[in-house]
Amino acid sequence: MRTSIAPKEGVFTVRQYRLARKLKKITLTAAAKELGVSQPTLSAWEGERKNPSVDSLIRMSELYEVSVDFLLGLPESRYHRADLLQPVPVEALPAFHDSPVFSPDHGWAMVNAEERVLRFADGSLLSLADAVRVYAIPPVFTITAVPAGLPLQKAELSEHDSIWVEPISTDTALRRELRGWYRVEDHYVENEVGQRFYFDFYGAKWLAFAAGPGNV
């Protein structure tokens, strides 16, 4: 006999099902086909009208490549991998464009660096400037680790011989390729393969940190 996962107040939120699908960038129709259910059924799960069985929950976890805990929307205080929550400075959020982050006050959201907002699963928006506590969990989403500390001020760049650079771009692959340690020159920074970021575009195209993720 299958058991359904029913949301409990303060513990579960069905909205995570839709968010997980969006993170995977798969349509409702395609996801329903992969899960072996009808489109109306999956829509009902996402709309909080029905609850999936345990088997279906596991299939969703595998399909969307997220943890079951994420699907269940466990809050920060009950998240079994809370030790992996890494705080993200508000000033650094533009470098996390199109990446999922967690707000204890509002839940999971996607960063939109172009509009400077956090976009939540229910469609609501929060200005990056108004975000207070925001976290990322790299191991769950296979995104890169969070750099240590606050981004450097533009005036501080010339005080360092080398800095860790986080590109600001809508292209995830490009961000991963270009992030890393850069040597500081007079008007730009340059990595070992000759890629440059110019001071004039600091804050718009890239951010810099004195230390890399985990002090790499």
pLDDT at 182: 96
Are 127 and 176 contained in the same domain? no
Is 32 within a domain?
A: yes
Are 172 and 191 contained in the same domain? yes
Q: Which residues of 96-107 are buried (b: 16+ CB within 10 A; e: fewer)?
A: bbbbbbbbeebb
Is 8 within a domain?
A: no
CATH number at residue 51: 1.10.260.40
What is the Cα–Cα distance from 52 to 191, expressed in whole angstroms?
49
What is the Cα–Cα distance from 43 to 102, expressed in whole angstroms?
24
Is 44 within a domain?
A: yes
What is the Cα–Cα distance from 178 to 9, expressed in whole angstroms?
43
pLDDT at 149: 77
Query: Quick one: tokens of 184?
Result: 């500081």
> How much of the chain exceeds pLDDT 90, in percent?
30
Are 107 and 125 contained in the same domain? yes
pLDDT, averaged across the chain? 79
Q: For residue 136, what are the β-bridge partners?
A: 86
What is the Cα–Cα distance from 151 to 166, expressed in whole angstroms?
9
Higher pLDDT, 132 or 182: 182
Is 210 within a domain?
A: yes
pLDDT at 212: 80
User: pTM for the full model?
Assistant: 0.52
Last residue of a domain, one of 57, 74, 91: 74
Are 25 and 41 contained in the same domain? yes
Are 85 and 64 contained in the same domain? no
Render pLDDT for 113-141 as a digit per residue (tens, 0 to 9): 888 899 876 678 899 989 888 887 654 34
Whether the CB-CB separation of 60 and 52 falls below 8 Å is answered with yes
Q: Which residues of 63-85 are buried (b: 16+ CB within 10 A; e: fewer)?
A: bbebbebbbbbbeeeebeeeeeb
Is 110 within a domain?
A: yes
Is 3 within a domain?
A: no
Q: Count the domains in the chain.
A: 3
Q: Which CA distances in Å does 70 have to 46, 58, 81, 100, 151? A: 14, 12, 10, 11, 28
What is the Cα–Cα distance from 85 to 46, expressed in whole angstroms?
25
Q: Which CA distances in Å does 155 have to 72, 114, 212? A: 44, 24, 19
Last residue of a domain, one of 74, 96, 119: 74
Are 171 and 122 contained in the same domain? no
Query: Quick one: tokens of 71?
Result: 């699907």
Domain coverage including residue 136: 81-141
Last residue of a domain, one of 102, 120, 141: 141
